[in-house]
Amino acid sequence: MGQVPTIDPRLGIQEHPIRVLLVDDQRIVGEAVRRMLAGRTPEIEFRLCLDPDAAIAIAAEFGPTLILQDLIMPGVDGLDLVRAFRANETTLRVPIIVLSSKEDAVTKAESFAAGANDYIVKLPDKLELLARIEHHSNAFVHRLQRDEAYRTLLRQQEELEQLLEKVSEERQKSERLLLNILPKAVASELKESGTVRAMRFELAGVLFADFCDFTAISHTMSANELVLELNECFSKFDSITTAHGVEKLKTLGDGYLCVSGVPEARPDALISLARVALEIRDYITARRKEKIVDGGRYWDVRVGIHCGPLVAGVVGLRKFAYDVWGDTVNIASRLETAGAPGRVNISSDFRVHLPASAACEPRGFISVKGKGEIEMFFLDALDAET
């Protein structure tokens, strides 16, 4: 009898030993009941309350799984005490077995109406008393454990939702960080497959921008001023490239590298890159004028653009980066070096992809280290009238 079921600790269910509170003004009855309950395994905890006025306080402190209550006690109406148990939060659901000295249908009905769960003529047979105690106590304990499991599940659900929300936030942070490092299409491929295929592009534009007199001017600035100014410029460059769908690859000291038509080919890739170059030039020109008016020195910018085939891919295991390689990249770098402050220097290969209305100043063929002579133009505007 009375085997306690195995409890899964993950559900937060507690062990609840059977605790019987007897409310009876006769000590001899209390002793008789105590003996009936003694020796049972697992043990039944027993408490006798001789004073009905103290019954609710004792019940709150003892935490019974069942209340045995005498119906006839001096100075108190037994039915009123049953109602008082039912009105108290701590004993509201605790099963109550009423003990009476007589078998009377009316009294039974009144007891049940007051809130009693059972009715026994005292003193009952030991087996009957134990059976009723176990039946009502086990039902009460199961209800307690069900409520505990439900509360635990609710808490775990809330914790899981919070964890999922945190995981979602961390995933979004990781995705934003990844998109700061890699182009969107490349980042998607890396997330889906864990690798990024190297790809060859037959026609892509490459832009290098570099600040003129950077070293000399940077020596007149504090470290914080220098970094803040570079951040201001490169952040603006980033806004410009993003607005035109051009992919910024990296900064190299005071240099800036971006590409168009990579990692996805676009029919307007080279026109967009030209717009980026002109807006970078105009931004630095305007900022330089402001700084000079304020009495300071400021760098200018050289921009070089070339187009042609190149290879793109991701390199590195830690702090990996998306990069481009090939003659097209090298020539774009040479065009920047061969340019002039405040000008956008382009190759003839790039020029043929611009509209006929583009304002370009021919520079002729200029010798480039390692590449021989390359025909170059200064791009002033995409529309000769602007």
Task: For residue 14, give both structure tokens.
Answer: 């507690």
- Alpha carbon distance 194, 216 (integer Å): 44
Which has the minimum average pLDDT: 8-22, 147-161, 209-223, 282-296? 8-22
Place of tokens 């010798």: 367
Q: Which amino acid is at 93?
A: R
Q: Is the pLDDT of residue 2 over 60?
A: no
Q: Is the peptide bond before 123 cis (omega within 30 degrees of 0)?
A: yes
Q: How far apart are CA 386 and CA 334, in angstroms?
A: 28
pLDDT in tens, 316-325: 766 677 889 9
Q: What is the CA radius of gyration of the chain?
A: 44
pLDDT above 50 for 340:
yes
> Is a pLDDT exceeding 90 seen at residue 361?
yes
Is 90 exceeded by the pLDDT of residue 64? Answer: yes
pLDDT at 280: 97
pLDDT of residue 384: 61
Per-residue confidence at 193, pLDDT binned at 50, 70, 90?
low
pLDDT for the residue numbered 156 = 87
> Is the pLDDT reported for residue 386 higher than 70?
no
Residue 15, pLDDT > 50, answer yes
CA distance 52 to 26: 11
Better pLDDT: 9 or 28? 28
Sign of CA dihedral 167, 168, 172, 175: positive
Which pLDDT does position 8 carry in this prediction?
59
**Listed residue (79, 86, 77) closest to 59, CA to CA:** 86
342: left (phi over 0), alpha (psi -120 to 50) or beta: left
How far is it, in rounded angstroms, from Cα 277 to Cα 33? 97
Q: State the DSSP code for 104.
A: -
Quote the CA–CA distance of 139 and 231 in Å, as a whole number. Answer: 70
pLDDT of residue 194: 67
Residues 230-242 have a mean pLDDT of: 96
Domain ranges of the chain: 9-152, 199-381
**pLDDT digit string, tens, across residues 105-119:** 999 999 999 999 999
DSSP string of 165-178, one letter each residue: HHHHHHHHHHHHHH
Residue 10 has pLDDT above 80, yes or no: no
Predicted local distance difference test score (pLDDT) of residue 146: 87
Q: What are phi and psi of 23, to 5 degrees?
A: -110, 105
Rounded Cα distance, 144 and 29, in Å: 29
Q: For residue 365, what are the β-bridge partners?
A: 375
| Element spanning 189, H or E | helix 184-193
DSSP 3-state assignment of 260?
strand
CATH homologous superfamily of 9-152 equals Response regulator (3.40.50.2300)
pLDDT of residue 7: 57
Q: What is the number of alpha carbons within 13 Å of residue 181 lying toward its C-beta?
A: 17
- Per residue in 166-177, pLDDT (tens digit) is 988 888 887 777
pLDDT at residue 4 in the model? 45
At residue 95, the 3 state secondary structure works out as coil
Q: What is the pLDDT of residue 1?
A: 38
Cα–Cα distance measured from residue 343 to residue 281, given in angstroms and rounded to the nearest whole number = 7
Q: What percent of the chain has pLDDT over 90?
A: 66
- As a CATH number, domain 199-381 is 3.30.70.1230
Say if residue 199's pLDDT is above 90.
no
Q: Across-strand partners of 378?
A: 345, 361
End-to-end CA distance of the chain: 99
What are the b/e assignments for 49-68, b being 16+ CB within 10 Å?
Answer: beebeebbeebeebebbbbb
pLDDT tens-digit profile of 77-100? 999 999 999 999 999 999 999 999
Of the listed ranges 215-219, 277-281, 338-342, the least confidently predicted one is 215-219
The H or E element spanning position 347 is: strand 343-347
Q: Encode pLDDT of 265-298 as tens digits.
A: 889 999 999 999 999 999 999 999 998 888 888 9
Cα–Cα distance for residue pair 231/234, rounded to 1 Å:
5
**Span 19-36, average pLDDT:** 93
Cα–Cα dist 152/335, whole Å: 68
242 has pLDDT over 60: yes
Residue with the larger pLDDT of the pair 385 and 317: 317
Strand, coil or helix: 29: helix
The pLDDT of residue 39 is: 83
127-162 confidence digits (pLDDT tens) = 999 999 999 999 988 988 888 888 888 888 999 999
Q: Are strands 300-315 and 343-347 parallel, antiparallel or unpaired?
A: parallel
Q: Which two tokens stand for residue 334?
A: 């040479």
